[in-house]
């Protein structure tokens, strides 16, 4: 199945619903750059939908927003790395079932998609794309068919899903937001002029001056309908949530507030802890922008070392992992960040970055720093070594490509050609956050809260 990193936005009861959704997606563009889509419901209950491939401002023109009338809307931005990019996988998914429109937007990765899809296909279900979301839609339709109201169907659908899912459902004039029982990915709610807003990240609320209320609880179902708002819980909620800590390390925007934590503060704390664990004797500290900036600030403050921006980012380049082949990828890194020559020659430098995945960024850029005459290069990474694949929606390389899964620290240091290398310890990472017993650390320690089914796991590993 295709592996998703996505951003969700939903709004219920606002005259400008689709325009605000557009802004909500714009703020969350970092969560997905492959496709964007919006579904709205007008006053008569008719559904309108538009989606396209590319960035939010490229997909939506004024005329498209004009054609998305109504006071209820859901939007989605999507990024996938495996499989061909395709409009069939773009979301929200909008279908008609027994004369009723249904739309679903999903963030996260299920670990039993293969089994679910096979069972559905055995009963004659037809699929257009390869995303998990189509499986969820089919299950939902089957559950509606079994009887009961929309909420019961949502509940019964969710009970069959294993893995990570934040979902926003639209049916008739009802919007339902759900967070999976482990709470793998973030989903928050707030209000704007009396309307309910829901978003993966609160930076979406800030843009429109919506008031942030709270994070949905793991396993919570939050409903907005003509009868008002209400909340209930899925059954079988585990005692401990397992929220994705990599959202705090890298994926979410630092100005967002997720899982009840300010992302910026967590990242700065990670840098602080990192400096506590290992500070080299250097002339200055510099981040690899942008991801290294926030831990580097904490690191430099804790170590009382000068902080410089000696690596400059080209903001008009997409993320380096978008490139399909390894040769293209290292070119992507060179396009993306480039050192300031005058800062490097003869200097002892400490580089702070959030993570090393394949090692492409580090290898390529350290080589350049050496060419420019750096005397010493020390690397400090604000998360532990990423040694295991993520099955829940963070796109890492396959284990074959993950540098820390294949080499010892000494070997990595040698490969990177650096004078020293230190990764933040798991203890240090947990000291950097407030709710430290609620996180999934599977990419560091291999302890998977929900084991993937054999085929899904195999697919993921073969990526």
The SS3 of residue 71 is coil
Q: Which tokens sit at 147?
A: 């009887």
Note the helical H segments in 1-66: 17-27, 56-59, 62-66
Is 191 a residue that touches ligand AMP (CB under 6 A)?
Answer: no
* Beta-carbon count within 10 A of 283 CB: 16
Q: Toward ligand AMP, which CB reaches closer, 187 or 333? A: 333
Q: Toward ligand AMP, which CB reaches closer, 394 or 441? A: 394
Return the residue of 51, 179, 185, 358 that touches ligand AMP, per CB under 6 A: 358
Q: Which tokens sit at 77?
A: 């931005």
Is 394 a residue that touches ligand AMP (CB under 6 A)?
Answer: yes
CB of 254 to ligand AMP, least distance (A): 12
The answer to whether residue 383 is catalytic is no
* Residue 82 CB-density burial (10 A; 0-12 exposed, 13-18 middle, 19+ buried): middle
Cis peptide, bond prior to residue 92, ω within 30 of zero:
yes
User: What letter would DSSP give residue 354?
Assistant: S
CB of 196 to ligand AMP, least distance (A): 30
How many CA atoms, within 13 angstroms, populate the side-chain half-sphere of residue 132? 30
Is 107 a residue that touches ligand AMP (CB under 6 A)?
Answer: no
Site stretch for ligand AMP (CB under 6 A), options 198-206, 226-234, 355-363, 448-456: 355-363
Is 273 a residue that touches ligand AMP (CB under 6 A)?
Answer: no
Q: Toward ligand AMP, which CB reaches closer, 103 or 297? A: 297
Distance (Å, whole) CA 122 – CA 145: 17
Which residues make Cβ contacts (< 8 Å) with residue 105, sequence separation at least 6?
6, 8, 10, 74, 75, 76, 91, 92, 93, 133, 167, 168
Q: Which tokens sit at 360?
A: 């492409």
Is 352 a residue that touches ligand AMP (CB under 6 A)?
Answer: no
Distance (Å, whole) CA 229 – CA 11: 12
Distance (Å, whole) CA 245 – CA 186: 10
Among the options 6, 203, 266, 302, which is catalytic? 6
Q: Toward ligand AMP, which CB reaches closer, 4 or 261? A: 4
Q: Are 74 and 5 in contact (CB under 8 A)?
A: no
Is 143 a residue that touches ligand AMP (CB under 6 A)?
Answer: no
Q: Toward ligand AMP, which CB reaches closer, 140 or 250? A: 250
Return the residue of 169, 184, 222, 250 that touches ligand AMP, per CB under 6 A: 250
β-strand partners of 107: 166
Where are the strands (E) in 234-294, listed by range?
243-244, 257-258, 261-262, 284-287
Site stretch for ligand AMP (CB under 6 A), options 119-127, 222-230, 347-355, 425-433: 347-355
CB of 348 to ligand AMP, least distance (A): 22
CB of 201 to ligand AMP, least distance (A): 16
Return the residue of 392, 396, 444, 448 that touches ligand AMP, per CB under 6 A: 396
Interface mask toward ligand AMP for 56-85; x: CB under 6 A: ------------------------------
Is 354 a residue that touches ligand AMP (CB under 6 A)?
Answer: yes
Is 360 a residue that touches ligand AMP (CB under 6 A)?
Answer: yes
Interface mask toward ligand AMP for 303-342; x: CB under 6 A: ----------------xxx---------------------
Site stretch for ligand AMP (CB under 6 A), options 197-205, 259-267, 368-376, 391-399: 391-399
Q: Are 393 and 364 in contact (CB under 8 A)?
A: no
Distance (Å, whole) CA 256 – CA 196: 18
| Strand 284-287 with 337-339, pairing | unpaired
Interface mask toward ligand AMP for 406-435; x: CB under 6 A: ------------------------------
Is 291 a residue that touches ligand AMP (CB under 6 A)?
Answer: yes
The SS3 of residue 50 is strand
* Beta-carbon count within 10 A of 207 CB: 15
Is 247 a residue that touches ligand AMP (CB under 6 A)?
Answer: no
Residues serving a catalytic function are 6
Task: Point out which residues bind ligand AMP (CB under 6 A).
Answer: 250, 288, 291, 319-321, 353-361, 394-396
């Amino acid at each position: 199945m295709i592996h998703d990193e996505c951003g969700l936005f939903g709004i219920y009861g606002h005259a400008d619903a689709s325009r605000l959704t557009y802004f909500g997606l714009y703020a969350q563009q970092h969560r997905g750059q492959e496709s964007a889509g919006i579904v709205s419901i007008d006053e008569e209950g008719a559904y309108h939908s538009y989606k396209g491939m590319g960035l939010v401002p490229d997909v939506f023109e004024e005329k498209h927003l004009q054609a998305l009338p109504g006071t209820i809307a859901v939007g989605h931005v999507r990024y996938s790395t495996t499989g061909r990019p395709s409009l069939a996988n773009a979301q929200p998914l909008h279908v008609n079932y027994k004369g009723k429109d249904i739309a679903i937007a999903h963030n996260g990765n299920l670990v039993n998609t293969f089994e679910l899809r096979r069972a559905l296909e055995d009963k004659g279900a037809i699929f257009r794309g390869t995303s998990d979301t189509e499986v969820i839609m089919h299950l939902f339709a089957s559950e509606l068919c079994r009887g009961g109201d929309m909420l019961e169907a949502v509940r019964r659908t969710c009970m069959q899903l294993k893995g990570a899912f934040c979902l926003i459902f639209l049916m008739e004039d009802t919007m339902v937001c759900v967070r999976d029982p482990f709470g793998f990915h973030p989903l928050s709610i707030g209000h704007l002029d009396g309307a309910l807003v829901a978003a993966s990240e609160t930076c979406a609320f800030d843009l429109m001056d919506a008031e942030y209320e709270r994070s949905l609880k793991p396993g919570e179902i939050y409903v907005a309908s003509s009868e008002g708002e209400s909340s209930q819980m899925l059954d079988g909620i585990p005692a401990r949530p397992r929220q994705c800590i990599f959202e705090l390390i890298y994926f979410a925007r630092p100005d967002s507030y997720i899982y009840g934590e300010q992302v910026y503060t967590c990242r700065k704390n990670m840098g602080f802890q990192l400096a506590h664990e290992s500070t080299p004797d250097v002339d200055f500290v510099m981040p690899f922008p942008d991801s290294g900036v926030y831990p580097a600030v904490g690191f430099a403050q804790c170590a009382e070392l000068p902080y410089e921006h000696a690596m400059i980012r080209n903001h008009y380049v997409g993320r380096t992992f978008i490139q399909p082949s390894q040769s293209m990828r290292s070119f992507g890194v060179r396009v993306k960040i480039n050192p300031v020559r005058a800062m490097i020659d003869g200097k002892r430098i400490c580089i702070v970055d959030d993570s090393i995945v394949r090692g492409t960024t580090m290898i390529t850029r350290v080589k350049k720093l050496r060419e420019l005459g750096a005397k010493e290069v020390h690397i400090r990474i604000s998360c532990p070594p990423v040694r295991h694949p993520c099955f829940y929606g963070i796109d890492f390389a396959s284990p074959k490509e993950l540098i820390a899964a294949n080499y010892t620290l000494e070997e990595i240091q040698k490969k990177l050609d650096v004078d020293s290398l230190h990764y933040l310890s798991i203890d240090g990472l947990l000291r950097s956050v407030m709710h430290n017993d609620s996180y999934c650390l599977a990419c560091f320690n291999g302890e998977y809260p929900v084991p993937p089914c054999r085929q899904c796991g195999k697919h993921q590993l073969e990526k």
